[in-house]
Structure 1
């Protein structure tokens, strides 16, 4: 599903114009993106949690040469779906 498809569904469901629906979607994604860039976590009840985690430096290995390499520290984004979403996906009551 693309952003255009989501905007279309918002348009059909709410009755807002397609332009307004697309703008709302872009604004929502912009807020989520800036919040995550700031290192804050997002919890959406009934949907799930987006969490920014810090990974430390670690040693790795190049699988082709077997050479030991250093993997630098970085941030990773994780998503954990809520129980409600997991049950909906698996069709469990």
Structure 2
């Protein structure tokens, strides 16, 4: 499901226009992005938790040349699904 399809489904379920549903989706994703940028965890009970994870610096290999390269430390966002989401999928 892509964003336009999600907007249409939310609009139908909530009795909103597609434009309003799209604005709601944008607001939610903007707030999740802002919280993750601050390093905060985002917990949506029953759905799951988004959390910022740290990756340590490590060495890797260039697949074309086989040369060893140093990969810098970085941060990434992880997602842990909640029980309700797991149950719905299974």
The aligned length equals 90
Partner of 1:39: 39
Aligned: 1:11 with 2:11:
yes
Indicate the RMSD between aligned Cα atoms, in angstroms.
1.3
TM-score (norm 1): 0.86
Where does structure 2 lack aligned partners over 5 or more consecutive residues?
Answer: none
Aligned-partner SS, 1:16 = coil
Q: 1:46 Cα shift?
A: 0.4
TM-score (norm 2): 0.89
Where does structure 1 lack aligned partners over 5 or more consecutive residues?
Answer: none
Runs of 4+ in 1 over 3 A off after TM superposition: 63-66
| CA offsets 1:5-64 (integer angstroms, 9 cap, x no match) | 111111101111221111111111111111111211111100111111111211222344
Q: How does 1:50-89 map to 2 (within 5 A)?
A: 50-89=50-89
Partner of 2:26: 26
